[in-house]
Amino acid sequence: MEDNIQEKKESGAKQFFSFIWELAKIALIALVIVAPIRYFLFQPFIVKGESMFPNLESGDYLIVDEISYRLSEPQRGDVIVFDYPKDTTQRFIKRIIGLPGETVNISNGQVHIIRNGIDNVLEESYLPNNLETYGDVNIALNADEYFVLGDNREYSFDSRAWGVVPRKDIIGKAFLRIFPLAALSQIVAPSY
């Protein structure tokens, strides 16, 4: 009888350790699959503050595409997440307005993009009609430099205040808003 009890204890212990081993294998496989996706392809980002209002709101949960800019260059209108150039421990979200080789001139409430001597006023249909871009800025962008603005121009701390974003500081392009669920949508750059 004691042998039978001992065998049941050993069998129970083997089943328990077998169960733990299976859980450990599943966790390891999940880690091997998820970690590269999370660290090299996509990552979550939570919007903090109102600098991108009305297009993005504080608390919006976004997915940032980190791979697209390895294959192509950032474009005007892309909403990007980047390391703040003055303190790279902080991450900001803004919209690209000026591209390398261009001059960005902000005056009289309008954004002018000057490329190859041609001056164009930037038409920004994604912003409210009565919005003006305050500031008096004239910045010539070098290679690998970008000029960014928040969509809520009156309350955004952006390139008007601290200068350009180097290409190396860009983490990726915001491409999907997944929370709140009622606002689930792809984030698409406007055409200019």
Is residue 116 a contact partner of residue 163, using CB atoms and an 8 Å limit? no
Say which of 8, 18, 25, 51 is annotated catalytic. Answer: 51
Instruction: Give the span between the Cα atoms of 165 and 184, in whole angstroms.
Output: 28
Say whether 51 is catalytic: yes
Task: Return the C-alpha torsion angle 66, 71, 72, 74, nearest 10.
Answer: 20
**What are the residues whose beta carbons fall under 8 Å from the beta carbon of 110, sequence distance 6 or more?**
121, 122, 132, 133
* Secondary element (H or E) of residue 177: strand 170-179
Residue 68: CB atoms within 10 A of its CB come to 16
**What are the residues whose beta carbons fall under 8 Å from the beta carbon of 24, sequence distance 6 or more?**
none
**What are the residues whose beta carbons fall under 8 Å from the beta carbon of 90, sequence distance 6 or more?**
83, 84
Task: Give Cα separations from 138 to 6, 84, 135, 164 (angstroms).
Answer: 84, 20, 10, 12
Say which of 72, 94, 159, 185 is annotated catalytic. Answer: 94
Structure tokens at 32: 């091997």
Active-site residues, by number, are 51, 94
